[in-house]
Structure 1
Amino acid sequence: MNSAENSVSRAIRAAMLTADPRAKVMAARAVARDWAAGRLEASFDCAMPDYPARPDKPELLPPNAMPKRGRGGSERGRLALIHALAHIEFVAIDLALDAAGRFGGERGPGFVSDWLSVAADEAIHFALLERRLQSLGSHYGALPAHDGLWDAAKETAHDVAARLAVVPMVLEARGLDVTPVTIERFEAVGDTRTARVLSRILTDEVNHVRFGTNHFTSVCAERGESPPALWKTLVDLHFRGAIKPPFNDSARRSAGLSCEFMAGVA
């Protein structure tokens, strides 16, 4: 096999263009393994797709067209929440793959390693949640899903600093804030299996946000920019929403999001 056929960018692109959820999980994990084992060339000879492949189901809807999940601990509400979380993790596989393939050439092997490891983690998270849905008599695709998650990738495709500022340092960081409360909700209704899955995800997401913060800080150092100041500027430009408290201050600090970053954003 020649180096072009064995390039990491081609392997990443192939994984992103895999529509079947289980096959995408396997493809993402295989790319991460092959890269870590030195079986892929650090060649960025093909472009990332503008939009990754998606299965026929779930039906993808605009955010304002999503049905309400409802409140309380009903089985229907819990299934809807698990399904929504599974979809977030499914899209997160492609977000991490895209970061590695789109920006790896300029940022180097360490950047690629970090984001391929994130892609492998997200694949495991999706698989755990999908298995939980099946154990509850449902499956991924049984309900519609939010089609706005890829917007962050499209909005920041031109600039690695913007991508890092918005995806790990805003979107994934929000997961640090809301997941503990979600875990408590499942524990309150006796669903300890789902709570354990979410606890595993929370631990991994702290590492993902830390990768984002560390790489963002490195980019800022190269550009002679203040990390908190540039982060706020890029979030204002590229994030369509508000960053609202309450914040999980301890998890954010563990991930490198200091009080200086968070000052004045809410």
Structure 2
Amino acid sequence: MNFYSELEKIIKTQNPHDKFVRFYSFYDKYQNNECIFEQNFEPEFFEEPSYEGVCKIVPPQVVPKRTNLTTKDGQINLLHAIAHIEYSAIDLALDAAYRFINLPKEYYDDWLEVAEDEIRHFKMLESLLERLGAKYGDIEVHNSLFEASQKTQTLIERMAVVPRYLEANGLDATPLILKKIDNLQKDEILDELVKSLNVILEEEVSHVQKGDRWFEYACKQNKEDKSVYFEIIDKYYPQGFDRARHINKDARLEAGFSCSELKNIAHKNVC
């Protein structure tokens, strides 16, 4: 099986569960060393996300708000929003393995492992949606994560923006969601969501850690200091670090951020 060509087919697969079946078959072959890495492969630039045929895509400000989590509609909106992040993350992990060729095998090991994690996360959330009588694709979604992958076509920029910025922001945001849920009346769906979010938070620390490892690798390849991270983020998210923010210090430190980086992000000494 050709590694990059098969990944391209998986990424383009629109139906989520067809995508997962195809991925698991591919991943089994990869783990059994049955894949051939095409040396001169040229990755395609994707114009549209794979979920285009499943979800209605709207601007971020039009996506339904996740406000009243004590109502069925509020819970569906929240679950769908998080499920969409996880689904987008599946394609982002697959694209990281597909787009950047001729790297050490450990690089592909890492991002295929991340893809498998993200599929499992998506399935946990999808099962909760189904218990509420909903499914992925019922709610409008935005394209922000897909657009981030379109913008970052070099390894150093992809590793800076996706795992070390976008996914690291999730390390900060998830505890706030958990705190909000904890203040609500007990509810079976919310209790299950809390369990899922705790699994996601724990495992996504390792995803950011992988991004940190390969960002550092790319910095060495490009003869850049790791501080170039802030230049890259400012290029694509000019106000990304303008304001002081709550950060998940322990998770970010575990994921590879330095205290000096956290000071620049939080606008204060945090360690």
* TM-score, L = length of structure 2: 0.88
CA distance in 2 between partners of 1:80 and 1:17 (Å): 26
Note if 1:40 corresponds to 2:35: yes
CA distance in 2 between partners of 1:31 and 1:202 (Å): 27
State whether residues 15 and 27 of structure 1, in contact with CA within 8 Å, keep that contact through their aligned partners in structure 2: yes
- Counterpart of 2:127, as a letter, is R
- Counterpart of 2:240, as a letter, is A
CA distance in 1 between partners of 2:100 and 2:58 (Å): 29
Name the structure 2 match of 1:206: 205
Note if 1:12 corresponds to 2:10: no
What does the per-residue CA deviation read over 1:90-147, in whole Å, with 9 as the maximum and x for residues that have no partner? 1111111111111132x22111111111111111111111111001221111111112
CA distance in 1 between partners of 2:194 and 2:265 (Å): 30
CA distance in 1 between partners of 2:138 and 2:37 (Å): 39
Gaps of 5+ in 2: 267-271
Name the structure 1 match of 2:269: none
Q: CA 1:64 to 1:240, structure 2 compared with 1: closer, same or farther past 3 Å?
A: farther
For 1:71-82, list aligned pairs within 5 A: 71-82=68-79
More off after superposition, 67-76 vs 77-86: 67-76
Aligned to 1:264, what secondary structure does the other structure show?
Answer: helix
Gaps of 5+ in 1: 1-5
Note if 1:109 corresponds to 2:105: yes
Aligned to 2:137, what secondary structure does the other structure show?
Answer: coil
State whether residues 152 and 239 of structure 1, in contact with CA within 8 Å, keep that contact through their aligned partners in structure 2: no
Name the structure 2 match of 1:178: 173
Residue 238 of structure 1 and its aligned partner are, at CA, apart by: 2.3
Name the structure 2 match of 1:154: 150
Note if 1:219 corresponds to 2:218: yes
Name the structure 1 match of 2:259: 259
Note if 1:90 corresponds to 2:87: yes
Note if 1:22 corresponds to 2:21: no
State whether residues 15 and 54 of structure 2, in contact with CA within 8 Å, keep that contact through their aligned partners in structure 1: no
What does the per-residue CA deviation read over 1:209-245, in whole Å, with 9 as the maximum and x for residues that have no partner? 0000011112212333221x11011111123652451
CA distance in 2 between partners of 1:248 and 1:85 (Å): 19
Residue 10 of structure 1 and its aligned partner are, at CA, apart by: 1.0
Instruction: Give the number of equivalent residue pairs.
Output: 258
Aligned to 1:257, what secondary structure does the other structure show?
Answer: coil
- Counterpart of 2:23, as a letter, is A
CA distance in 1 between partners of 2:85 and 2:35 (Å): 28
What does the per-residue CA deviation read over 1:143-190, in whole Å, with 9 as the maximum and x for residues that have no partner? 111122211101101x11000000000110011111122223334432
Residue 46 of structure 1 and its aligned partner are, at CA, apart by: 4.5
CA distance in 2 between partners of 1:73 and 1:161 (Å): 42
* TM-score, L = length of structure 1: 0.90
Note if 1:58 corresponds to 2:92: no
- Counterpart of 1:235, as a letter, is I
**Alignment RMSD, CA only?**
1.8
Residue 192 of structure 1 and its aligned partner are, at CA, apart by: 1.3
CA distance in 2 between partners of 1:102 and 1:183 (Å): 34
What does the per-residue CA deviation read over 1:56-109, in whole Å, with 9 as the maximum and x for residues that have no partner? 33211111222333245333212101100001111111111111111132x221
Name the structure 1 match of 2:248: 248
Residue 47 of structure 1 and its aligned partner are, at CA, apart by: 1.8
CA distance in 2 between partners of 1:67 and 1:25 (Å): 27
Q: CA 1:257 to 1:13, structure 2 compared with 1: closer, same or farther past 3 Å?
A: same
